[in-house]
Amino acid sequence: MLDIEEFHKIRKELFENKDKVHNSTDIAEYIRKLEIISANEKSEEVLNIIKEIIQKTENKIDKHLLFKLNWFLFLQSYGFQKIEETEKILLKLSEIAKETKQTEHMAIFYSTESLFYQLKGDHETSINKISESMEIIRNKKNSHKEVYYAILYAYTVFHSNSDKQYSKAAKNMQECFQYYYESSYNTLGMIKSFYLLIRFYILLGKDKKMNELFHWILNQEKIQERLIDTHYIILHWYLGIISTVRYRLDEAIDYLVKVYSRIKKSNLSIYHMYEFADSLRLLSRCYALKGNFQESYNLLTELVNFMELDNIKQNYYQRRRKLIYFSSYYTILFIFAQLDIDVEKIEDQSLLQVYRYIKLFLEESQLAKQLLLENSLDEETMLKTIEKESMKSKDEVYLTLYQFLTTQETYRIDNVTEKTLDKIRNFTHEPAYMDVFLGKIYLSRGNFKQFRRASNNVSKQAEKTGEPILQIWSNFFSLILEFIDNPVSSTVANELTALEEECKDLNFQKIAEEISMYKNLILTSSIRKDLDARFQRTAFLDLIGEESKKLVIETLQKD
């Protein structure tokens, strides 16, 4: 792992001596230092100095050094410039690799091709290219360690996304992490492999290993004392993501605020646009889940204004831009739902951008047309279509399914069986919330056995994560089950009242309203055989209009 004092010393020399490179020995030594700096710092300054050195030395140095410079240029600019510019660098690498026919060059070239196709969304070609790269470099591990571990990292990421073999992926990432920590100058490589290793532990359910590694990296002075700004920002960004995924909301907010503050303090650079936007996105989500809707709303506005800046629109990787808008849309819907405001009545011009973006996507999406417009779509075709589209873009599938489930009165569509809905669960962004939705569907259909199963799933996830809203749903479902098992219980209505008040205190108005509906239902129900019909009229009051809602309430009160 690189010492921070050594980093600053080398960086200073790099910029001071850029005009003192005269012969092949000078150039080779300069490129060695440039390799260390470019591996650890992504910035406009480093990008420009790489371009300048290429321009000065292109006709003076051998092809091996020229290839390295163009590789540095590719890695420094990847994801931060227009795809056409990235393609130009790729063509240069291809020319040199074909000319030198060196094993190292061919392996690197195929790996950069893989990254390029990943950027374009062509996952199949990307995986094929990284596999070719790995096959070439596999037996050169000892002679080309930095290249080998860079390729192993990418190979593991892309293949694990496809084959889901997380045990194998964790083993590979453990090897990468150990190498970068013990033997490499690439501290960014160590931080990135740490994050992926944690992610694989989460997917494998290895909570103990995950917690041990998480706390280890936070308590390692060797690491904490050697973090330059870039390292600090990316590490805390990853810690924020991990904590958000685990629903450690206060912990996540703490890490993400540090990222936000450090980036703002260092004069927001395009090289931190992904971390900045993602931190705003996640912070907004965390605050919303805690019921702090004003903070969430303000951050969403700042996020959208940032995403609409000209230089961000031109350079932000389009597929990640889509993720930002999709995620922001979910948060907007959540805030507006809890405050009982119609999302179509958004007045803020910044948030209107998100709404328009989503509407345009749904109008153009083939999957959206099939699910939202073609009600005759049979189950088998529906599931095959979802699975096929999920291979291309999970984010697009998540959004389309969300719209399908919340706007199509799924609980009343005859061709959508409970079995189909169960299968759809596997394609949703947050399965725990799909369990909430499924629970309401089963309740509305009088399928109390399946409702109990969905309720148990929600309870397990709520206990595991401690996520506030999920805990409320868990308690809510448990009380409904208690009533189903014992309709004459005198305590359920009182407990629902207490839960309703808790929701109001947390600013979760919509859930409070729904709990109140069920409380009224329970108070007016005395005969068990009427339960199915009553639940059917109540289970989806959060999805229907005001007039229909009033009609249902009046009917319940008359009963």
Total number of domains constituting the chain: 1
| 549 falls within a domain | yes
Helix (H) or strand (E) holding 401, with range, is helix 394-407
The 3-class secondary structure across 29-63, one letter per residue, is: HHHHHHHHHHHHCCCHHHHHHHHHHHHHHCCCCCH
Q: Which two tokens stand for residue 344?
A: 């179509």
- Name which residue leads in pLDDT, 43 or 318: 43
Domain membership of residue 438 (yes or no) is yes
- Residue 150 within a domain: no
In a domain, 512, yes or no: yes
Q: What integer is the mean pLDDT of 35-53?
A: 91
The per-residue pLDDT for range 123-162, each reduced to its tens digit, is: 889 999 999 999 999 988 888 999 999 999 999 999 998 8
On average, the pLDDT of the chain sits at 82
- Please indicate whether residue 474 or residue 360 has the higher confidence score (pLDDT): 474
State how far the Cα of 429 lies from the Cα of 62, in Å rounded to an integer: 50
Distance of CA 123 to the CA centre of its chain: 17
User: What's the pLDDT at 537?
Assistant: 43
Distance from first CA to last CA of the chain, Å, rounded?
A: 72
Angle between helices 379-392 and 366-373 (to 10 degrees): 160
Spatial neighbors of 467 by CB under 8 A, at least 6 apart, are 247, 249, 289, 432, 461
Quick check: is 508 in a domain? yes
Lowest-confidence range among 84-98, 232-246, 419-433? 419-433
Confidence band for 527, pLDDT divided at 50, 70 and 90: very low
Residue 537 lies in a domain: yes
Q: Give me the amino acid identity at 112.
A: T
Q: What pLDDT does residue 448 have?
A: 87
Q: Is residue 182 part of a domain?
A: no
The pLDDT assigned to 71 comes to 95
**Would residue 188 count as lying in a domain?**
no
Write out the residue range of the structural domain in which residue 485 sits.
430-559
Long-range contacts of 401-404 (CB under 8 A, 24+ apart): 401/371, 401/427, 401/428, 402/330, 402/428, 402/429, 403/362, 403/368, 403/371, 403/372, 404/371, 404/372
pLDDT at residue 556, as a whole number: 39
Q: What is the dihedral of CA 186, 190, 192, 197, to 10 degrees?
A: 150
SS3 call for 467? coil
pLDDT at 545: 41
> What residues contact residue 414 under an 8 Å CB cut-off, 6+ apart?
none
